[in-house]
Amino acid sequence: MEIRLDGKRALVTGAGKGIGREIVKVLTECGAHVVAVSRTQADLDSLKAETGCSTILADITSAEEAKRCAEAAGDIDLLVNNAGIALLAPFLEVTVQDFDETIAVNLRAALIIGQVVAKGMIARGKGGAIVNVSSQAGVAAVQDHTAYCASKAGLDHLTRVMALELGPHQIRVNSVNPTVILTPMGEKTWGAPEKGGPMLAKIPMGRFGYPIHVAQAVAYLLSDQSDMINGIIMPIDGGFLVG
């Protein structure tokens, strides 16, 4: 089985580094033309040189910027809401500012960009596919991750409602929920052995993931090979969530 996305236009947010960057590479290899959104110009320049993608510089913390980049992307068949941030603090010390920023990037931007893209898909009448990049933290409580966990749990339920309401238009919406993935974010949060060790011990397969593990699952969920899969929350976690 070979995944082909020839002739499709894909929009990927948070494409500059880590998982999003790998998703752009894999979707391009599958034949899609990708529009990459991120907030550091140098990342977008190197990604464009590597893959031939189109780029849009935007910080989607802002609702206006999120709408602007989705509109500027043009007709989109495949959407990956990947941009996310992790601002860590014990529950008793979480600030309103950090909570609001986390929700804005991890959850609200997926709503706004999803609305613009889905309206275009509906107008063109050819369906489409959307993947929201969530986390095991959307399902399991993780120490010091109050805002992050809440944002990802919200994203998972947004995925289900989108699947419910967009399904009749042949637009499938699913989420992927990775464990620790070795990206700049993953290294920052779990790189220290005293933090990474206990997390590793809870993963039956005993290892963290790499961006390619997530990118391949995303490509599958965007492809015709997953034609009847709609509204799932797909762990990519080496078994973490069975515990």
Residues of this chain that interact with ligand NAP (CB under 6 A) are 14, 16-20, 38-40, 43, 58-61, 82-85, 105, 133, 135, 178, 180-181, 183-186
Among candidate residues 3, 5, 41, 37, the one with its CA nearest the CA of residue 21: 37
Locate tokens 């998972």: which residue?
156
Q: How far is the CB of 43 from ligand NAP (least distance, A)?
A: 6
Percent composition of the chain: helix, strand, coil (DSSP 3-state, to 5): 50, 15, 30
Active site (annotated) includes residue 148: yes
Active site (annotated) includes residue 8: no
Nearer to ligand NAP, 3 or 212 (CB): 212
Q: How far is the CB of 219 from ligand NAP (least distance, A)?
A: 15
DSSP state of 107: I
Residue of 8, 25, 152, 220 marked catalytic? 152
Q: How far is the CB of 135 from ligand NAP (least distance, A)?
A: 4
Nearer to ligand NAP, 31 or 198 (CB): 198
DSSP state of 26: H
Nearer to ligand NAP, 40 or 95 (CB): 40
What kind and span of H or E run contains 89? none
Residue 154: CB atoms within 10 A of its CB come to 18
Residue of 17, 119, 126, 148 marked catalytic? 148
Nearer to ligand NAP, 117 or 181 (CB): 181
Q: How far is the CB of 228 from ligand NAP (least distance, A)?
A: 25
DSSP state of 106: I
Cα–Cα distance, 14 to 109 (Å, whole number)? 11
Tokens of 48: 């464009």
| Active site residue ranges | 148, 152
